Amino acid sequence: MNRLNLPGPKALALIERDKKVISSSYPRGYPFVMDYGKGVEVWDPDGNRFIDFMAGIAVLSTGHANPRVVKAVQDAAEKFLHISSDFYHEGWIRLSEKLDEIAPFEEGAKTFLTNSGTEAVETAIKLAKFHTRRHNFIGFLGGFHGRTMGSVAFTASKPHYHRGFYPLMPGVTHVPFPDPYHPIFERKPGEDYGERVVRFIEEEIFGHNVPGDEIAGILVEPIQGEGGFLVPPDGFFPALRELCTKYGILLIVDEVQSGMGRTGKWWAIEHFGVEPDIVTSAKGIASGLPLGACIARESVMQWPRGTHGNTYGGNPISCAASLATIELLEEQYLANAAEVGQYTLDALEEIQMRHPSIGMCAARV
């Protein structure tokens, strides 16, 4: 077989069967069919071997089939596969205790576990509305927060996420994300571009459109992912935090993609020296098992019994995978991300010195 002639016959046959029965909405970019994976490598059914740079789009935080995660899943599966969230189990409690320990705020944390990132964002939206009794939000152009009816109202990275689905959840006003490489606002002398964007929100949005004291939450990715991996300037989050505190707005950081050790710290927001009120997580939290989390300050996650729930939240297999993942991140992968991140950034900056066509190298490690 010519190994460069991809996809091979077995993969091609599967792709043909897939086309007949699987929703055509998935953005299938590459004709890769997974057979099995180990660490950073994956194999297709024709025996071709690849290095996986995608990691399931930031999901495989411990690599493919990490033996510790696999063992944790096997052990949990032998005990029980499911228990309704009307009941209790230790793995769910231990994971929530761990998330309380690593949450990026001093105050104690309470967690609502979900099946996905979008459900974590939906939970954050509902919690913010419930806690503040307000209905309006600020989101950012270029942001990605999911595809269900609440989260997709914030998603503003590509118009096809909205086309055909109007009306979306009302009450979301989008503002530009502070992209220091493509600034769209004039700055005052010495003004940080992040502070400039926050001044736009206060002066233009609150000043002319939505009253600041009717905003429930500002939902933002600490480092914008799908929008272009944009790192905001240092002044942005401190100014945004100040704005939120001034108007009684909840600062909700969507760490579905940027969190779980990916930047060398548990959460990307930790690089910016501010504490959010709510954090959403998913993707890398359980090495590929379906799990998300809405983690909030305990003073915020105060809602009575029955207000919000789900069938699979706190699933024992996903909790076991997550606990093993967090242990592995703690033991080695957090430090590895910091080291490899710094190495990569240094190397890119060195290349940039030789190639003026490279306009900016940005990252937080």
Least gap, CB of 13 to ligand PLP (angstroms): 28
Query: Measured between alpha carbons, how far is 237 from 224 in angstroms, rounded to an integer?
Result: 13
Check binding of 323 to ligand PLP (CB under 6 A).
no
Check binding of 221 to ligand PLP (CB under 6 A).
yes
Determine the residue type at 36: Y
Query: Measured between alpha carbons, how far is 103 from 94 in angstroms, rounded to an integer?
Result: 14
Check binding of 222 to ligand PLP (CB under 6 A).
no
* Residue carrying structure tokens 């736009």: 200
Least gap, CB of 208 to ligand PLP (angstroms): 29
Query: Measured between alpha carbons, how far is 224 from 257 in angstroms, rounded to an integer?
Result: 9
Query: Measured between alpha carbons, how far is 124 from 217 in angstroms, rounded to an integer?
Result: 9
Least gap, CB of 221 to ligand PLP (angstroms): 5
Beta pairing partners, 219: 252
Quickly count: other Cβ atoms within 10 Å of residue 82's Cβ: 11
Subset of 98-157 contacting ligand PLP (CB under 6 A): 116-118, 121, 144-146
Beta strand segments in the chain, E: 36-38, 41-43, 49-51, 109-114, 136-140, 172-175, 215-220, 250-254, 278-281, 292-297
Check binding of 269 to ligand PLP (CB under 6 A).
no
The smaller minimum CB distance to ligand PLP, of residues 7 and 222, is found at: 222
The smaller minimum CB distance to ligand PLP, of residues 172 and 256, is found at: 256
Number of residues counted as binding ligand PLP (CB under 6 A): 13
Least gap, CB of 203 to ligand PLP (angstroms): 28
Query: Measured between alpha carbons, how far is 148 from 20 in angstroms, rounded to an integer?
Result: 25
Check binding of 262 to ligand PLP (CB under 6 A).
no
The smaller minimum CB distance to ligand PLP, of residues 192 and 221, is found at: 221
The smaller minimum CB distance to ligand PLP, of residues 254 and 277, is found at: 254
Least gap, CB of 18 to ligand PLP (angstroms): 19
The smaller minimum CB distance to ligand PLP, of residues 144 and 206, is found at: 144
Least gap, CB of 293 to ligand PLP (angstroms): 11
Strands 36-38 and 172-175: unpaired
* Residue carrying structure tokens 């940080």: 192
Beta pairing partners, 281: 293
**Contact set with ligand PLP (CB under 6 A):** 116-118, 121, 144-146, 221, 225, 254, 256-257, 282
